[in-house]
Amino acid sequence: MLNSTSSIAVATLGTPRIGPRRELKTALESYWSGRSDEKALMATAAELRAANWARQRVLGVTVIPSNDFSLYDQVLDTSVLVGAIPSIYGWDGGPVPLATYFAMARGAEAGVSDPACAHAHGHGNGVPAQEMTKWFDTNYHYMVPEFSQGQKFALSSSKPVDEYREALALGHRTRPVLLGPVTFLKLGKSKDASLDPLSLLSDLLPVYTELLGRLAAEGADWVQLDEPCLVLDLDEAALDALRVAYATFAKNVPQLKIMLTTYFGGLGDNLATALSLPVAGLHVDLLRAPDQLHDVLTTAPEGLVLSLGAIDGRNIWRANLPSVVSRLEAAVAARGAGNIQIAPSCSLLHVPIDLDRETALDPELRTWLAFSLQKMSELATLGKALSGDHASVKDALTASAAAAAARKASPKVHDAVVAKRVAALTTDMERREAAFGERAKVQRAGFNLPAFPTTTIGSFPQTPEVRKARASHAKGLLSDADYNAFLYEETARAVRWQEEIGLDVLVHGEFERNDMVQYFGEQLAGFAFTENGWVQSYGSRCVRPPILFGDVSRPKPMTVEWWKYAQSLTTKPMKGMLTGPVTILNWSFVRDDMPRSASCLQIALAIRDEVADLEKAGARMIQIDEAALREGLPLRRVEWKGYLDWAVASFRICSSGARSETQIHTHMCYSEFNDIIDAIGAMDADVISIETSRSKMELLDAFKTYKYPNEIGPGVYDIHSPRVPEVVEMTDLLQLARQRLADDQLWINPDCGLKTRKWEEVAPALVNMVAAARLIRAMPR
């Protein structure tokens, strides 16, 4: 039982699932490639879960979660759990095969579970993956649930029960974690615009009720139901859905205590509804919304257990523990230790696992950081201090305060030259020298490209040979000269191949780059990098976000020499490839001692310098990717304008120094653009490429309604799936695009960069893409 003593309970809400050495990634990719079987994959998964539970217990966590593990994504797990599986995947009830699960995640060739079904639905060479988008305002991606008219739900997986039993057998009484029913429905969509997913609630609740009953029968006394939708702007229908759902659970499974979990923001005007629900506990995020603590404490019903998200679950900075203790002591005094739990602001999924593995980090910087395991120790320290046991944690509290003071005073953080340059910014630096219409005439005359020009987004496959060479170079086993010679040859081969298949605008392939953010951060002052600080982006895709710890500047050019070499190999246009300031910011662990907007302006000035140097070298097409623009959007609409104003200004600062004849491209991926289309227009990029293949060009509706004047490359195939799309699929998508935009606006490209794919997938797909371009040029509107 929880809270059986006067000590404050310590919870984690969820933990990283990839393993300290990315064991899950290795196991998944081995399984997908056929090198191992399902039994081996499941054995690795069980080992990772067991290790997670054991580590938490050792570190002092008293409320250990189960069912926070996933082979791919927790939202996909929920779709499978409740039987929300579109008919295209050929599932007809019963336990969901692993092949079907991964087909929903990644797409699949014909013959996944019912090849006849795939052919019947017009996908003779397989089935596409479900749509994928960002999880709230994070860089984690989830698989979007898909619903249809007449949608039926059924409990189709025993995963939560199985993992509860698994933990219990190992001696851990856990609190199972489930995505709440209202958030699940709100995250989903239907191809039928008339279907409101919330209308399906009455059909979904019996499945949740059945599952909760099974967990209670297994001995679970608490369950964690995540409803992060409560930090969004909700209408009365959504609030009513929450009331109905939790009243149903209280009536039908009264013996099971529910910890209603919210995160990524404050409850705001939803607080009254959250506190009215018949649940035993409520978790609130005190990092994103510290000011909500007072209202929660003064209005929460007596006896409601409050879980206080006091440690940052989304960033890597060490907490100032004495300051946190001071702030929370009043809450403990008011509610009693038995009614308080200490937790991170959200699941620790979003931070790396273990700082102790980072032996190469600057020693001073290292003392300022905390990863998942260190945050668990911080939580345990807070739990003891707030329970009155200051003596046992005295040293930990003292060290925490000293680290905070040292970071604040460190000269490594502050650069007076950067501060002076930011202070000198003017609005003139945000404007191109001519309007788009004038620029377009100059650019079209200069480039003389065919209609529907073809290109790619930037990166080509990082083959085992590329990764091996990079690793050997990093270990000192391959000299600088030999490594560069290898990279030059890979680049030359990619350029020749692009010419051979007939692409119109080329890229150099980015073989020298480890990551689109890390590559730049490593060359900018103010950033640090880890060796093992991996976090999950989706499935087996893991990233090592840079650590932005100080003021940012560019000591020297970063990409010019690679661009010059690649352009020397061809007479076709070669794009210079940069990552934009907003994406660098949003995909980094950012400073918490200054506004994000201030850091973004510093990065924008550094990228502006790089654009100028590329132009001087002769580049006439420069792509500044802002893949993460939308994911930084605040969750509450009232805060959107402030964010978009400084985000757009940052992009314009880095791009507006370019001359009219220089064509500025940008790229955005996996986002809903309808509600930020004004900001996209204000960016004033000459060409924007976006993800549209999974949405069947639906995302272009926003550009049509807005009457977007600039040029646009809607992605014609999904690079996150191993499928090779047929020419007819791409031409069909292009015809849909032509229904929305003028022909002279359209470019043809994949959805995103090709780094994670294999050449045997990329080569035929791009050949088909070029063939589709040739066909569409001959087709009348």
Question: Is pLDDT of 109 > 90?
Answer: no
Catalytic site residues?
A: 720
Residue 720: predicted pLDDT: 78
Average pLDDT over the chain reads 94
% pLDDT > 90, the chain: 87
pLDDT band at 125 (very low <50, low <70, confident <90, very high): low
Question: Is pLDDT of 46 > 90?
Answer: yes
pLDDT band at 119 (very low <50, low <70, confident <90, very high): very low
The tokens for 222 are: 């608490």
pLDDT in tens, 129-146: 998 888 999 989 999 999
- Distance between CA atoms of residues 46 and 53, nearest Å: 11
Question: Is pLDDT of 775 > 70?
Answer: yes
Local structure of 616: helix, strand or coil:
helix
Residue 674: predicted pLDDT: 77
Could you tell me which residues are beta bridge partners of residue 285?
309
- Distance between CA atoms of residues 414 and 421, nearest Å: 13
Question: Is pLDDT of 114 > 60?
Answer: no
The tokens for 631 are: 């994911």
Candidate from 28-42, 274-288, 618-632 with smallest mean pLDDT: 618-632
Q: At a CB cut-off of 8 Å and minimum separation 6, what does 755 contact?
A: 459, 460, 461, 462, 510
pLDDT in tens, 89-100: 999 999 999 999
Question: Is pLDDT of 115 > 60?
Answer: no
Q: At a CB cut-off of 8 Å and minimum separation 6, what does 651 contact?
A: 580, 581, 582, 604, 624, 626, 629, 666, 683, 685
Residue 692: predicted pLDDT: 77
Question: Is pLDDT of 4 > 50?
Answer: no
- Distance between CA atoms of residues 630 and 668, nearest Å: 8
pLDDT in tens, 397-421: 999 999 999 999 999 999 999 999 9
Q: At a CB cut-off of 8 Å and minimum separation 6, what does 132 contact?
A: 141, 142, 143, 144, 538, 670, 694, 720
- Tell me the average pLDDT across 664-681: 85
Q: Is the pTM of this model over 0.75?
A: yes
Tell me if 309 sits within 8 A of 286, measured CB to CB.
Answer: yes
Local structure of 173: helix, strand or coil:
coil
pLDDT band at 123 (very low <50, low <70, confident <90, very high): very low
Residue 110: predicted pLDDT: 60
Q: At a CB cut-off of 8 Å and minimum separation 6, what does 459 contact?
A: 507, 509, 510, 513, 516, 753, 754, 755
- Tell me the average pLDDT across 335-361: 97
Higher pLDDT, 703 or 578: 578
Residue 699: predicted pLDDT: 75
- Tell me the average pLDDT across 299-315: 97
